[in-house]
Amino acid sequence: MKATGIIMILLTSLVFPGIITRVKSIASGRKGPGLFQPMLDILRLLKKGNVYSSTTSFIFKIAPVVYFSTILSAAFLIPFDNQPGLLSFNGDFIAFSYILALGKFFMIIAALDTGSAFEGMGASREALYSMLVEPAFFVLMASFAMFTGHTSFYEIYNSIYFGSYIAVFAGVLAAYNLFQIIMVENSRLPYDDPKTHLELTMIHEVMVLDNSGFDLALINFASSLKFVVFGALISNFFFTPDLPVYLGILIFLGIQVLMAVMVGMVESFRARYKLRNNNKAIVLFTPISILIFLSILMVIMHQS
């Protein structure tokens, strides 16, 4: 049972980017690529060799592997259908955040390792946005830890109960904030445009300009995997005790498809923020998390 969650995350990550692409194609009135085209592109890259600049060191070579490994390791912490993840312990939501931070750290220093001014610029922006997102995530998870009295993902989700309007309000805000964090962490619109080719406005894409072949395949698949991992955090809000496994799988798939559709719609009809406005927009996630904290505090005071 514990392996069900990681299996679902891996399988869903194979079609997640394809759903986003299909939604964007339909919204713009184009035929567009097939559902599995992004994964086919990754398979094509896996068959190619890597090309390394003479200015790079071993850091650039190991960074994609570390990046992919950290995201996969973080997926092991995610519970599924009221079952703990393959790795579950007190304070695992803190480990989750810093495991992902380790992978991002290696990607940032790998971009700096190339000696490219453009990649250094993208790395600087990536580091800044991650720093601004971190307080919002920790305040959010700490709020639910206070609400349930537990500090692991499994126990938090297994003990959470939205028994009042204020608690439901906090849950809706939490889902919204997590979705916005997902968009920042995956460098998607309106914070970044994964399809832009203007280096002055690129963030994540400019960081991986020198990656190729197997390394680029790992990076692209890791990005898809990270989407689903964060989406699993949202889907866990909808699991109830004693839920049959097949219903848990349907809920998980439904939330992931809905999230992919939402990402596709956002990227079809919403303009990208100006770079100078990104900081202001991302900083607002923390006040929203504080509002969630105050709402949960009201629920606890009312219960006592």
pLDDT in tens, 129-172: 999 999 999 999 999 999 998 999 999 988 887 777 888 888 88
pLDDT in tens, 217-240: 999 999 999 999 999 999 988 887
Predicted confidence at residue 68, as pLDDT, reads 96
Give residue 302's identity as a one-letter amino acid code: H
Q: How many residues does the chain have?
A: 304
Where exactly are the structural domains of the chain?
A: 2-303
* CB-based burial, 97-109: b 16+ in 10 Å, e otherwise: bebbebbbbbbbe
Task: List CB contacts of 218: < 8 A, sequence separation 6 or more.
Answer: 64, 65, 67, 68
- The one-character DSSP state at 236 is G
Instruction: Determine contact, residues 289/142, Cβ cutoff 8 Å.
Output: no
Instruction: Determine contact, residues 79/154, Cβ cutoff 8 Å.
Output: yes
CA 201 to chain centre: 21
Predicted confidence at residue 264, as pLDDT, reads 92
* Beta-ladder partners of 41: none
Instruction: Compute and round to an integer the Cα radius of gyration of the chain.
Output: 19
User: Of the candidates 180, 92, 107, which has an alpha carbon nearest to the alpha carbon of residue 141?
Assistant: 92
Say which residue the tokens 């399809």 belong to.
Answer: 195
* CB-based burial, 121-131: b 16+ in 10 Å, e otherwise: bbbebbbebbe
- The one-character DSSP state at 32 is -
* CB-based burial, 212-224: b 16+ in 10 Å, e otherwise: ebbbbbbbbbbbb
Predicted confidence at residue 200, as pLDDT, reads 72
Q: Please count the other Cβ atoms lying within 10 Å of the Cβ belonging to residue 44.
A: 11
Residue numbers in the chain where pLDDT is lower than 70: 1-2, 199, 304
Give residue 206's identity as a one-letter amino acid code: V
Output the six-digit token pair for 65. Answer: 């592997």
